[in-house]
Structure 1
Amino acid sequence: MSRFDSWVNTGPFSARDVGLFRIVFTLLLIPYLPRLSGLGAYPSGLLDPPAGPFAMLREFPPVPVLVVMELVIAVAVVATLCGLYTRVASILLTVMLVIAYGLVFSLGKVDHVAVMISVPAIMSFARWGDTFSLDALRRRPRRGRGSATGDPTTIHPTRSQPQWPLRFLAIAIGIAFVTAAIPKVSNGWLDFSTQASYGYQVRQNFIAESPGLLAGVLAHFPSAPLWEMLDWVTVLLELGVLVSVLSWTTWRTVLSLLTLFHLAIALSLGIFFVGNVLAYGAFVSWGRVRLPAWHLSVRTSEALARFGPAGVLIVGAIVWIAGDALWSVRLDVGVIILVAGAGTGAGYLIRLARALLRRFVTARSERAAPVA
């Protein structure tokens, strides 16, 4: 195997890690599912689609079509959550979200969701439906065909976990940050005569409907050296994300810094990069979370496997009906995601610092020890 192949296929992620991430990701994604039916009321004159295939759009689809799209998205996210036909459901979810957000963004306002909506399709190739899923229960041996052995929440207990989809997702996140950094460089963020970060802060404080909690204080703190340093830190951090993909430790360290950075942006500018933090969750060691010991009987497993598809359809319909109510709490959910992400990132950085300090002290003690 070449060094490149070894790099791509090497990683610390287990089947439990990606399986639990699937559940966390889809649960937190539900409040952010786009609401489309209202688009049918907008006249074609308001269309301002972004560059790409949606630029060919002349009018929004009819309301019945938009409603069906909402329902398909709701069922796809519940199917992915429950791990039913997970790969198909995950890819369908990403495709439908791309179309749905493309329609929403055709009104002129574009949000940062590209990384988030690509996660299901990418993670489907990491077999994130092999554990804690209806697929795992459906593929267990049935009564009369041998006894059920092994972990009932896992499809292939002995198969190695694919690592390359995680590396691919990391590269995709890195490229997204590079595309954000390059315009900043070309627009003068590294020019010592201007402080772009401060300009954004002042604008958000006086123009934005919901500026950050610290916006008023920071807008009246015009320290040129501080804001210039923040300009450079922002650009270098965004450019460094892609480079950090070379090492999982470095990658997780940079992501931890980014979670703190996103929380700071929310507090200062009132901009919530929730989708980014959700995507970072793919690189958390969820398998270390201690869960209560439990075991499903063969009868219960068979019942879930048999009636699971009907249950997914019913729950998907409920999610669709409750869509407006769920959409109304997305800001509260976003705060929880950002705070939890920053807490997780800070915890990782603290553990890393302790490990490095312990290694340094040990190495220094060994050098200072007398030779026998």
Structure 2
Amino acid sequence: MATRSNIFDKIIFDSFQLTPESLGLYRILYALFLLIFGVPNFTWISRFPDVFYNPPLLSLHTFFSGFPSYWFLLLVSLGTCISTVLLLFGYKTRLTSILLALFIFTGKSFAYSFGKIDHDFLIWIIPLVMSFSNWGAAYSLDAKLKHQDRVVQNWPVVLLALILSFAMFSAGLPKLLGGWLDISTHAVRGHFLREFYVNERQDLLAPFFLNLNSALVWEFFDYAGVFLEVFFIFAIIRPNLFRFFVICAIFFHVFNYLMLNIAFSINIILYLLFVDWGMIISKLRKHRMLLSIERAINFRSLLIVGLLYTSFYLIYITATESVTFNVSPLRFVLEDLMNLDSLIFSGIVIFLGLIVAVLNLIHFVSKKKDFSDSTIPKYMHN
């Protein structure tokens, strides 16, 4: 029993060991990702009548008999925006992370009250879980003000790995039980044809796959998808194996994007938590970029960025009459300025994640070592 307990302790507390610098950089990346792609606007919800109100079981429906008012949703949206800016600069990081999660949970409770829960729920869990990791220990105002020590916790990263694994498993198990491995049928091809003809997803490489008639290739797609999703959960016992599965998942999303024209670009930010940050930090340090990041973290920058972004955000969501759903207003502006449609813009995010995945894979193969940070300080071993 003691041995079994030691094994679980090792997986929970010794896996995915990251330095304060690794977590600090990931915090900045996560906040930037939200500011550009994912700070949602919830005010559109108030435009719908209560007849559409069909909240999920775990939500705030107990306190509301219908959709809340515009002003309530505006406050929730602004709270999400301001919390994200504060998280970017790492000010009162733990409190800010929890508040950000609460604001998003509140808004999403109503956004999901139309009878559909989107795939992006994994992304909104990150700040709540990572608030316990001390990801404000480096590259933050808290670090400069010495509000937080340098001791970081590994178990929140393991918890997110478990959540991701169960999400993958819950997607793969129905496929496994539903006959995806039956060699007499081609499930992926059937799904592709439905998307091509019914939903008219006919861009990128879709025409090429339409003319692909190899039964062996289509059956390989069936098996590869099921095996990736089902066995994801077993990879968590080894950090290097789990990170390899994460890299495979990024390739999987690139494949879905090119063939099915479906872009789960928002999932990329969760995958990037598990990459080899030690390798990335060493390259950034070589080009003195870490020093620039350190200098940019100050109260003057916080005030300027906070005022500019919050003003833009408030003006946009109050001036537009369009239904913006759960996408950052800045994304709409960038798409217009760059003259890109939503599919291509999402593809840019996916391929940026692919570049990181390829760099990590090359680093792993060339160094022949675990994907964990190359140097783990003694203070991280509790």
**TM bin (shorter chain):** 0.7 to 0.9
Match of 2:8 among 4, 11, 25: 4
In the alignment, which residue of structure 2 is the partner of 1:318?
311
In the alignment, which residue of structure 2 is the partner of 1:15?
20
The 3 A distance-change label for structure 1 pair 210 and 34 is farther
Q: How many residues align?
A: 337
Does residue 1:138 correspond to 2:145, yes or no?
A: yes
In the alignment, which residue of structure 1 is the partner of 2:346?
334
After TM superposition, give the deviation of residue 221 of structure 1 in Å: 2.2
Query: Are the counterparts in 1 of residues 76 and 106 from structure 2 also a CA contact under 8 Å?
Result: no
After TM superposition, give the deviation of residue 333 of structure 1 in Å: 5.0
Does residue 1:100 correspond to 2:107, yes or no?
A: yes
Q: Which moved more, 1:19-28 or 1:187-196?
A: 187-196
Q: Provide the rounded CA distance (Å) in 2 between the counterparts of 1:95 and 1:232.
A: 39
The 3 A distance-change label for structure 1 pair 315 and 88 is farther
Query: Are the counterparts in 2 of residues 75 and 312 from structure 1 also a CA contact under 8 Å?
Result: no
Does residue 1:235 correspond to 2:229, yes or no?
A: no
Q: Provide the rounded CA distance (Å) in 2 between the counterparts of 1:93 and 1:118.
A: 10
Q: Over the residues paired in the alignment, what is the CA RMSD in angstroms?
A: 2.9
Give the 5 Å matches for 1:1-372. 2-10=6-14, 11-30=16-35, 31-53=37-59, 58-139=65-146, 155-156=148-149, 159-208=150-199, 210-284=201-275, 285=277, 286-288=280-282, 289-290=284-285, 291-292=288-289, 294=291, 304=298, 314-315=307-308, 317-318=310-311, 320-321=313-314, 322=316, 325-328=329-332, 329=334, 331=342, 334-356=346-368
Larger radius of gyration: 1
The 3 A distance-change label for structure 1 pair 319 and 236 is farther
Query: Are the counterparts in 2 of residues 262 and 338 from structure 1 also a CA contact under 8 Å?
Result: yes
Query: Are the counterparts in 2 of residues 260 and 346 from structure 1 also a CA contact under 8 Å?
Result: no
After TM superposition, give the deviation of residue 292 of structure 1 in Å: 3.6
The 3 A distance-change label for structure 1 pair 51 and 199 is farther
The 3 A distance-change label for structure 1 pair 105 and 247 is same
Query: Are the counterparts in 2 of residues 127 and 162 from structure 1 also a CA contact under 8 Å?
Result: yes
Structure 2: stretches of 5+ with no match in the other structure: 318-323, 336-341, 370-382
The 3 A distance-change label for structure 1 pair 186 and 9 is same
The 3 A distance-change label for structure 1 pair 210 and 326 is farther
Query: Are the counterparts in 1 of residues 85 and 302 from structure 2 also a CA contact under 8 Å?
Result: no
SS in 1 for 2:142: helix
Q: Provide the rounded CA distance (Å) in 2 between the counterparts of 1:202 and 1:167.
A: 38
The 3 A distance-change label for structure 1 pair 198 and 12 is same
Q: Which moved more, 1:73-82 or 1:182-191?
A: 182-191
Percentage identity across aligned positions? 26
Query: Are the counterparts in 2 of residues 190 and 231 from structure 1 also a CA contact under 8 Å?
Result: yes
The 3 A distance-change label for structure 1 pair 297 and 117 is closer
After TM superposition, give the deviation of residue 74 of structure 1 in Å: 0.4
The C-alpha deviation readout for 1:148-201, integer Å capped at 9, x for no partner, is xxxxxxx53xx4432111111111110111111122223222222322111111
After TM superposition, give the deviation of residue 106 of structure 1 in Å: 2.2
Task: State the TM-score, normalized to the length of structure 2.
Answer: 0.79
In the alignment, which residue of structure 2 is the partner of 1:146?
none
Query: Are the counterparts in 2 of residues 181 and 238 from structure 1 also a CA contact under 8 Å?
Result: yes
AA of the residue aligned to 1:314: L
SS in 1 for 2:159: helix
Structure 1: stretches of 5+ with no match in the other structure: 141-154, 358-372
Q: Provide the rounded CA distance (Å) in 2 between the counterparts of 1:336 and 1:262.
A: 12
The C-alpha deviation readout for 1:128-161, integer Å capped at 9, x for no partner, is 1111111122228xxxxxxxxxxxxxx53xx443
Q: Provide the rounded CA distance (Å) in 1 between the counterparts of 2:293 and 2:207.
A: 55
Q: Provide the rounded CA distance (Å) in 1 between the counterparts of 2:361 and 2:245.
A: 10
Q: Provide the rounded CA distance (Å) in 1 between the counterparts of 2:57 and 2:164.
A: 21
In the alignment, which residue of structure 1 is the partner of 2:375?
none
Task: State the TM-score, normalized to the length of structure 1.
Answer: 0.81
Query: Are the counterparts in 2 of residues 134 and 308 from structure 1 also a CA contact under 8 Å?
Result: no
